[in-house]
Amino acid sequence: MLSSALTSENSAIVMIDHAVGFGNVFRSHDVSLHVNNTVGLAKTASVFGIPLVLTNGADTGPTAHCSASCRP
């Protein structure tokens, strides 16, 4: 059990593999919905001053770069 509430000093949001190419892999929901949710989560982290770690792999790989709307 947590001894204290989560704050921007003791937490972070980690978003793994949010590259453009992965949008073609999943079929459970629309790509634009995925991008909008990703951008919304990144903006929420910024508003509350929560550290954000965003990974996507190599820009030259099969999944390409992170969506431009997700970059700072």
Domain of 32, in residue numbers: 13-70
**Which 8-state DSSP code applies to residue 61?**
S
User: Minimal CA–CA distance to 12: which of 57, 59, 44, 60?
Assistant: 44
CA gap 26, 34 in Å, rounded: 10
Number of domains in the chain: 1
Per-residue pLDDT tens digits for 35-71: 888 889 889 999 999 999 887 666 565 555 555 555 5
pLDDT higher than 60, residue 23: yes
pLDDT higher than 80, residue 3: no
Residue 6 inside a domain? The answer is: no
pTM: 0.66
Residue 64 inside a domain? The answer is: yes
Residue 5 inside a domain? The answer is: no
